[in-house]
Amino acid sequence: MNHTRSHKLFERARQLMPGGVNSPARAFGAVGGEPIVVARGQGAYLWDVDGNRYIDYVGSWGPLILGHAHPAVVAAVEDAAQRGMSFGAPTEAENALAELIIDAVPSIEKVRLVSSGTEATMSAIRLARGFTGRDVIVKFAGNYHGHVDSLLVAAGSSAATLAVPNSPGVTAGTSRDTLVLQYNDVAGLQQAFASHGAQIAGVIFEPIVGNMGVVSPTREFLTALRGLTQQHGALLICDEVMTGFRVAYGGAQQLLGIGPDLTTLGKIVGGGLPVGAYGGHADVMDHVLPAGKVFQAGTLSGNPLAMAAGCATLRALRDQPPYERLEALSARLEAGLRAAAAAARIVHQFARVGSMMTLFFAAEPVTDWPSASRSDTARFARWFWGMLERGVYLPCSQYEALFVSAAHTEADIDATIAAAREAMAQI
């Protein structure tokens, strides 16, 4: 496969942008080498600037559940653009997206629309602190909630120790109010509430983790999360930026029966344009300015083009739900990848919920960050490149989820499995 033009463009990009990119994950750092430079996407496929075609399982890291350039989404955005790009004033389209979200997500009675997942989680934790009058936020190692300062922290040396910053520029003062625990660790959660319960404003978590690879919560963990937060007057913040409209139309909370106080959304809710959202019980949401006193604002919030893309995407998902078909395609892919790995005698774990999945090159079950981090990332890198060379674009890290879209066909899945059999034999 020839990557000459990609190479030239990326060389130039490196002189123009830090690391050549506008977001680090896409730089292929975790697998070594250079990213391909994308020219266009259609349905389940991507083409790079050298004219190579790939079956795409990244889907812009989650938003493109309908595939690239879905006709209804493109038409909605074109139509909106004709009528003006942005007003900074109320529009009917904002009502439409808010209504779709409130109808879809069981625990959301009122919603505020923002422009990214990061903005949604940042605002949700500010609201949790403003609502409760408390400072501490609990998060879990290996869960990612965007690049919010106070959430860019790593676990201290023992459970229930206060967090340490994991990026230069995040102050110790900021991270002091974040408590990092292990995912699925019920005892750790109980201990944290026993010692800090009166200071905890909220617990933020991924209801199905996508950001250390796919990891599911245990029933006991979900029960403890809801029980302990309720008992101690803290808010439960379900970060559904990845899982919302992905694992079910109503998100992981519908699938798993979780009743959070606040929910954050992003990715699919914008249909490929920049949209995030946070919502929950009306009495909590009414603490947000101008109904209440918790400040949060955005010049481009509720942007008409973004609303159009989001509405068109959610209506397509609501009116012709692809979830059963996604499950069937994804199960077929899982079976094929498992068989390919087994045939090559490669130890692995496979985690999948609907159309999000991860093949871990790990010997033991993956339930939290310590077990995820024992994966063989060097082997993952060989797997990634083996698949790319065979025209399959996978997420470029062991710790990301692979996504199947409604645009994929059985033939795409079978071609992917055939590529996997060849690639597995060589890694």
Q: What residues are annotated to the active site?
A: 144, 239, 267
- CA nearest to 395, candidates 239, 213, 225: 213
Which runs of E-coded beta strand occur in 302-397?
Answer: 349-353, 356-360, 392-393
**Shortest Cβ distance from residue 319 to ligand PLP (Å)?**
26
Q: Does 384 bind ligand PLP (CB under 6 A)?
A: no
Q: Please identify the residue of the shown chain whose CB is closest to the bound ligand PLP.
A: 117
Cβ closer to ligand PLP: 121 or 253?
121
Q: Does 400 bind ligand PLP (CB under 6 A)?
A: no
Residue 34 in 3-state DSSP?
coil
DSSP secondary structure code for residue 277 in this structure? E
Contact 52, 36 (CB under 8 A): yes
| Site map (CB under 6 A) of ligand PLP, residues 203-232, x = contact | ---x---xx---------------------
Helix (H) or strand (E) run with residue 174 in it: helix 172-175
**Shortest Cβ distance from residue 404 to ligand PLP (Å)?**
17
10 Å CB burial of residue 4 (0-12, 13-18, 19+) is exposed
DSSP secondary structure code for residue 40 in this structure? E
- DSSP conformation letters of 337-348: HHHHHHHTT---
Half-sphere exposure (Cβ direction) of 10: Cα atoms closer than 13 Å: 20
User: Which tokens hold the place of 24?
Assistant: 């680090």
Cβ closer to ligand PLP: 61 or 380?
61
Cβ closer to ligand PLP: 211 or 405?
211
Phi, psi of 273 (to 5 degrees): -105, 165
- CA nearest to 252, candidates 200, 216, 220: 216
Q: Does 123 bind ligand PLP (CB under 6 A)?
A: no
Q: Which of 6, 52, 107, 116 binds ligand PLP (CB under 6 A)?
A: 116
Q: Which of 35, 117, 130, 260 binds ligand PLP (CB under 6 A)?
A: 117
| Site map (CB under 6 A) of ligand PLP, residues 36-75, x = contact | ----------------------------------------
Residues contacting 22, CB < 8 A, separation 6+: none
Q: Which of 52, 118, 182, 416 binds ligand PLP (CB under 6 A)?
A: 118
Q: How far apart are CA 245 and CA 254, in angstroms?
A: 10
Q: Which of 59, 213, 266, 310 binds ligand PLP (CB under 6 A)?
A: 266
Cβ closer to ligand PLP: 58 or 413?
58
Q: Does 242 bind ligand PLP (CB under 6 A)?
A: yes
Residues that bind ligand PLP (CB under 6 A): 116-118, 121, 144-146, 206, 210-211, 239, 241-242, 266, 276
